[in-house]
Every structure is written in C-alpha cells, then in structure tokens.
A and B are shown apart, each in its own frame.
Chain A
Amino acid sequence: MKSRIEQVMKKFADKCDYLEVHFEETEESCIGFNGPRLSDLGRRVDFGGNVRALHRGGWGFASFNSVDRLEEFAQYAVDQARTVGKEVSRLAETEPVVADVPVKLRSDPRNVSLEKKVEILRAYNKRALGFGDGVTSTVVTYFDRFHKFWFGSSEGSLVYQERVDIGGRVSPVAARDGDTQSYNVGFGGSDDFGVVKGLEAEIDEACAVALGKLDAPKIKGGEYTVILDPRLAGVFVHEAFGHLSEGDNVYEDENLQKVMKLGRRFGGSFLNVYDTGLDRGLRGHLVYDDEGVATEKTYLIREGELVGRLHSRETAGKMGEKPTGNARCLDYRFPPIPRMRNTCIAQGEATFDEMIAGIDYGVYCISASGGQTNGEMFTFTAANARMIRDGKLAEQVRDVTLTGNVFTTLENIDLIANDLAAHDGGGGCGKAGQFPLPVTHGSPHVRIRNVVIGGE
C-alpha cells in the first residue's frame, strides 16, 4: 500500500497545496441475540481508501472501494479542490511522521474462535433470560474489529497503524402489560478480549434494575439537585462541553469565538476537564489521529477556565492554535473532523457521603442511556435513578431525562468526588453522519444544582 501512496504523491502532490491518501482494511466479527434467538452472526471485510486534496482553502475528497482506480480518484480530488479553492490554505504545522504502529494486545480477539465467542454471549443471554418471570427478552450485541490503516501526505508523512475495537452490550428487557423497560451492561476496549468476560454479576444487577423500573413511578418534571454517577457524568461532560470544544464548531463563527474565548470562566475553581488519547486499552485510545498528528492529553477547562479545544490541523491553523490530534474519521468513506477521544471530568476531593448529606430532595442519576447536544443546550438520560430524601437514597424512579445549558449548568456543579472512573460501553459518538465512532468518557461523582428534568 505504501508504494501506491508514494506513486500518487509523485504524480499529484505538486498540483495542489496539500494531498493525503488513506487506505483501510477492516475485519469484523459480530454476534447478536434478540431474546433466545441468535439474530446476528456475521463476518465483514471492508477494504477501501480515499484521497483528500487541499488547494487555496478548498477541499476535494474521493473515497472508493475500487482501489485499482486509485489514480482516477486522485485526479478527481485534485481537480475538485482546485475548483473549490479561492482563498488561502491554512493547516497548522506538524512534523511529518514516518512510523509503523502495530497494535499491542493483552488478548487478541482474532485468536478466539467464533464458536467460543458465541458460547460466551449465549451464556450471558441465557443468564438474563433465566433471571426470573418478568425479564421476557434481551438484546445482546458483540463486535470485534481489527483495522489496518495506511496514511501518507504530500508533506512526507507515511504511517501504518493497527487499531482494535471491541464492544457490545447485554440488555435484559422486562415487559408487562404493554410496558417495556430495559437496562444495559455495556463493555468495550481496544486491546483486550477480556473485557467481554466476567459480566455475570453486572447482568444480574441489570435484570433487577429493569424489573424494578416496571414498578417504579415516573419522575415528576421540574428542577432538582442531582448527583450523577461516574458513568452518567461522563456522558454529561461529553455532551455538555466536549462537543462545543470541537474546533469546527468555533473556527468560522466569530460570535461563538467571543463566548468561547480562552480564559472564559465556565465553572468553579475545582472544575477540570480534559480529553486524552493516551489511555491504552480504552476505546478512545489513539497513537496518531487520522491526519498523522500524534495524540495527547488536552485540557479544556483548568480550574474553571476555558484553556483549550479539540482540533484538526485546519481548525487549529485557522484559529492560530496548536493541533491536538483530534482529527478522526469513522472510516475511509469520510474525511477526518475534530472528534473526542476519552473525555473526563478530573478527580475532585469530595466524597459521595458529603454530597448526599446536603440534599433534602433530589435525584441520584445512575448510568446512561445516551445524550445529545445542539451546541448550547444538551440532554442526557439516566438509565436508572433513585430519589434522594433528607440526605438518604430513597425509592427508584424512571424516565429521568436531564437537560441543561452549557453556559449555566457547569457553573452549577458544586461538588466533585474523588472516585474518578472511565467507562467504555459498546456504543459510540455520532457527528456529521459519522456514527458510531469509538470514544470513552469518565468522571467522578458530580453534584449539580438546579437541573431541569422532564416528566409529567
């Protein structure tokens, strides 16, 4: 593949300001159960590439499976960039990288037979279905992917990388009288098939939670003091702040740049938020991003003040900031754009007991069913919740969807605990049609005042 990249560079590099070529080969196995049925069992080979050209600020992009027609697509990308470009190309400078990055695995999913994988998932599925009357169905998913990437640029970068992504979930579904409730046990990682193992206790707990939700009352809508557990707080920081920190939201918008100016205060001096690609084993781990930029740990908020954002070379270049290694693409069908890796609220000093003691009437929100943002406002949904009354955990409630505003909600965080934990589920992040990208999030327990929760 490398020689094909070099050939394209030789022929086309001097016809535009910047040129890059990606190839990607992925092998995937996936398994799924819906109730007792093995609903999904497949193998997938995906092989393709793209050429991306930049000329006078305009991009031409061509992705393809017909790799034998590479030169034709390169010509297209270059021609289109020349059609689009009317200004100046500005990419933040980085050192060209020549590297081979084979993956180092603790346990390689490719060394485990498909039969064995099916057996493990089938046992989980049986366990959930056999939990008791009420757990009437399940959704179980599993995938493992082995990616090989080749990347080369007209600046002399030539990188071969391997990446592994493993993930999935076991969701017991409880149904009664037309009502359906479920709870997820998600798992994931980037270097260890072992993440699939040993989920029995979590599955039992998930069955109990799903059954409990059938009897639990819906929460009453209104404003509450809430404690988020580390899993939900991770989703919260991803939605509430991570997305707004992505350089492509800001770099062309002067009005937004005014409010997202470095140094702006977003929270108390005990609030620190970062995004990192350095944590080996997590799904958000990266060595080089999809522009060949080395990954790093990037602080977004330090002691309550905005100190950084997540950049591609283009957004960094246009804003006069440093690239951070956040340019990522879902696969070769898409150009890389600024995306998160592992986004965390940093360790605090409070304890859970201190947090709850100060709440007369509030909600303890546990684990996440997901979240979404449109920039300023965001929502995220607790997969389970319990009321807090007089400083103590009280009855289970359900349908807890929280909403907030990035410019006020972070300020309303008044306590951060000392129990930071990062968690990988089997899902992913979606943006600009690129879903699901493997990301991780983490946080300690967090207490927030005045959060609106929907409900009747």
Chain B
Amino acid sequence: MKKIIERALRRGAARAEVFYLNSLQTEVSYEAGRLKELANTEETGVALRLVKDGKLGFATTTKLTDLDRLVDDALATALCGDYIEFDFAVAGDLPDSRFFDKAIAELSVDEMMKHSEAGIARLLDYEKSIQAESGTSRNMQTIQVLNSDGVDAEFERTQYQFYVHGRLVEGTNMLDAGAYSGGTALDVDFDGLYKNAVDEFKRARTNVDLATGKTTVILTPRAVADIMLTLNFGVSGAYVEQGISPLVGKLGERIFDERITIRDDGLRSGGYRSAPFDDEGVPMQTTTLVESGVLRSYLTDLRTARKLNHADTGNGLKAKRLIGAKELGKAPAPEITNWVMEGGEKSHEELLSEIGSGVLVDSIMGLLMSNLIAGEFGGNLAYGLKIEDGKTTGRVKDAMISGNIYKLFRKNLVALSKDVELTGLLGGIGTHWYPYVVLRNVTIATKS
C-alpha cells in the first residue's frame, strides 16, 4: 500500500491517502426450512484519495494487478475536482479497543448450521406451515489506512450476523415475523431470539380492526431504531453543512424531552460497526448527541469538522447510505456507528400494561420514502398490534402511521422502558441499543 502512495507522490500528487479492505465472509442460508446454500465472499480492494494542485482526486479498484490504473484514475478526477477543504488525518494515539473475537473467527460452518437449524425448528414446532428461513454468517475484515502525513494504521475485525424469519400464509393473509442479532463479539442468547420470533407469531395470529385517529403507541426497540433514521440524518455533519438539517444552529438547545439521551458509540464492545479508527484514520469515540433532551454534537468527518468548526467525531466512513455496509467505491462521509438510547424506570411489560388502549408498533413499511431529513416518518404498519386494557389483542393491518420526531419526542413522550435491547436497522442491519418508547397522540389512518 505504501507503494501506491509513493507512486502518487512521484506522479505529482502533493499528498495521498490509501484505504485497504480485505474481507472473507462465510454464510449458511436456509430457505423453506432446508439448508439452501453455503457461500464464501472474498473481497479485496483499495481506495486512493490524493491532492494535486490543491484539488482532490478519488478512485477505487478491486483489480489489484493494475494499481497504475488506480493512480491514473485518481489523478484524472483531481483535474476536474474541487479545491480540497481539509487535511488528511495526522498520526496520533488510537484507542486500544479490539473488535476481534476468536469465537467468531473460529466459528465453524457446522456451528453456524446448528444456530440456524435450531431457530427454524422452533418456528416449525410452533406451526409447521411457516415458511422458515435463516442465515448465519461470519466475516473477518482487515482494514488499513495510510497517508503521506504519517498515518499507518491497521486493524482486524470479526463480525457475525444471524437471523431467523418466517412467513405464514393463510388464505390471502400473510404474516411475517422473526428475530435478528449481529455484532463483533459472539455474545448471543440464541434461545431468547428463537423465543422472540415465536412470540411475534403468537401475538399476531388474529387480525383486529382499528378506527382512524390519534392513539397511544408503544414503539419496540426495532421501531425506534427505524424512526431514528430521521435523527441519523439530522445530526449528520453533511446535512448540517448543507443547511438542510432542521438541527442547524441548535447545538446546546433543547430538541427532545429531557428524559432522552442518545449516544453514537463507535467503541461499543460488540458493536457491529465498532472500530479503533474510521475510514480516514481518525480515532473513533463515544459521542453524546443528545443529553437530557439537549443537542450536544453533530457527527463529522475530516471535511465537515473543518467546515463546521466542530470536533472530528471519527465518523468518516465509507458506508452505503442507510445500509452502512462498507462500500469501497464511496468516499468517506459522516455516517452513524452504533447508537445507544438510555432507558427509563419501568419494564416494557409494565408500560404496556398501563396503556388503556393503543397500538404496539414494531415494523413500518415504506419508512424510507418519508421526508426523513425533516424528521417525518410514516408508512404501513407491517407489524403492529392493537392494545386494549393493557394487553395486545391482535394484529392491525392496512393502517398507516405518521408523525414527526421533533414534535413527538419533544411533547408527546409518555415513558421509556428500563430494558434497552439490541436491534438492527430496517429489520437487520448493524447494532443499536434502544428502549421501548411510549408516545401519546400519534396518528394512525385505517380503512375503517
């Protein structure tokens, strides 16, 4: 990798930075209750950023036999690029957190099969006509960042992901339910996950009517994670700099109810996106975004930190927007790591039992089409349950929920649960930790 930097400098670049990624992922997948496929994905690639005549150039390749082309491409883009508005990272101390778990590295295909098979067996025990699918994967990554200013850093990381999911079709009624876990440490209560998947089915077997109107809702951690996509955009240094985040100029101001505290924790033990440094070589950290309802920080990369005169929070990541998977071809930009929201006083069971009538919301379909930047969220209740007298009574279908977090999380918060649970975004991406959240006066539109 050093040779690429040397070559770039020889060809007239003033500065250069190389990002190297090597990963090997192994996945077992089950379809219709049966083992379907074993897959191995080997990925190796390099991204190069360089500065020539004050302008930024960027190119990537997975063809490591032609690195001259990489340098040529980066130089060609620098010709018509904009003037660079930041410096590459400087060498310094990095956190000594490690995200390499031997248990994941040594996880055998047989063991992966066992986890998936046990999950499927539990679903089929409950109802044999469920179409059950499951996947267990392990990923080993080596990431390196080098630059001409002396950064030369490398880490290895292990990641696992597990899901079990089922679809039950009865007549023209379809019910989807399941469970997900992921992370960099194999510290999983598989049994608990299987139970959750079965419980999701049990609670939604009958469909019940709901009238259009405003109601109390209890959002599951999974629903909170999805709705927090709004804040993911709102605190992004890129959207703040562009002036389209509603949080522009609001640092130090109260934006939410004072019971709400949220952190972006790039060093969280077991966190799927945890790492000692980001994809620009800047140390990752734990950043308090909202403290007792007050906005404390945005998330930045090298460029937006400079532009906003803000601390660099180490969130310069090459990540596919929303999905967050490393995408070599993307330039680093402010992206979330693992989010953690503090919980409240009572368990979610207690909170649910205190709701006279309302709706439990677990999964919202079409959320991504909402005007998320403005804080708005909405969509079809893919998995929602009616609550009467503190108990769930059945599934609500053909219903649309909508709201705005900057209003609801400020004025309509009833309570947060004491239990804070791991959940993925969009049903299974990354790791975030959220409580159940109870909100009053949320609009749900239905057929009736």
Q: How far is the CB of A172 from chain B (nearest CB, A)?
A: 11
B106 within 8 A of partner (CB): no
Question: Using a CB-CB cutoff of 8 Å, which residues 334-379 of chain A contact chain B?
Answer: 335, 369-379
A107 within 8 A of partner (CB): no
- List, in ascending order, chain B residues with CB within 8 A of A124's CB: none
Main secondary structure of the interface of A (DSSP, over half): strand
Question: Using a CB–CB distance below 8 Å, which chain A residues touch chain B?
Answer: 25, 28, 30, 34-35, 37-48, 58-66, 69, 73, 76-77, 80-81, 83-84, 86-87, 114-115, 118, 136-137, 173, 175, 178-181, 221-223, 252-256, 259, 333, 335, 369-381, 399, 401, 403, 405, 407, 435, 450, 452-456
Question: Using a CB–CB distance below 8 Å, which chain B residues touch chain A?
Answer: 31-32, 34-45, 56-64, 66, 69-70, 73-74, 76-77, 79-82, 109, 129, 131, 167-174, 176, 212, 238, 242-244, 246, 323, 328-329, 331, 365-366, 368-371, 373-374, 376, 378-380, 382, 397-402, 406, 443, 445-447
- List, in ascending order, chain B residues with CB within 8 A of A255's CB: 129, 131, 168-170
Q: How far is the CB of B439 from chain A (nearest CB, A)?
A: 14
B379, closest chain A residue (CB): A379
CB–CB B42/A379 < 8 A: no
CB–CB A180/B62 < 8 A: no
- List, in ascending order, chain B residues with CB within 8 A of A376's CB: 172-174
A114, B74: Cα distance in complex, Å: 12
Q: How far is the CB of A174 from chain B (nearest CB, A)?
A: 9
A77, B64: Cα distance in complex, Å: 23
B28, closest chain A residue (CB): A84
CB–CB B366/A403 < 8 A: yes
- List, in ascending order, chain A residues with CB within 8 A of B446's CB: 452
B64, closest chain A residue (CB): A65
A69, B22: Cα distance in complex, Å: 15
CB–CB B369/A62 < 8 A: no
A379, B399: Cα distance in complex, Å: 11
Please tell me which one of the listed residues A65, A115, A380 contacts residue B80 in the complex, with CB atoms under 8 A apart.
A115
CB–CB B398/A403 < 8 A: yes
Query: Beyond A253-B32, A376-B172: 18 further Cβ-contacts under 8 Å?
Result: A41-B82, A42-B331, A43-B58, A44-B60, A59-B36, A64-B41, A65-B42, A114-B76, A136-B244, A179-B374, A181-B371, A252-B131, A259-B171, A370-B368, A372-B369, A401-B402, A403-B366, A453-B400
Q: How far is the CB of B442 from chain A (nearest CB, A)?
A: 10
CB–CB B445/A454 < 8 A: yes
CB–CB A454/B402 < 8 A: yes
B30, closest chain A residue (CB): A84
A357, B314: Cα distance in complex, Å: 58
With A34-B242, A42-B59, A84-B36 known to touch, is A371 a contact of B445 (CB < 8 Å)?
no
Q: How far is the CB of B426 from chain A (nearest CB, A)?
A: 10
CB–CB A38/B77 < 8 A: no
Counting from the closest, the 9 A-B pairs by CB-CB distance are: A454-B400, A221-B445, A379-B366, A252-B32, A80-B38, A381-B369, A255-B169, A43-B73, A47-B63
Q: List 6 A-B contacts (CB under 8 A).
A: A65-B45, A69-B42, A80-B38, A83-B109, A180-B374, A255-B131
With A43-B59, A62-B42, A454-B400 known to touch, is A118 a contact of B80 (CB < 8 Å)?
yes
B129, closest chain A residue (CB): A255
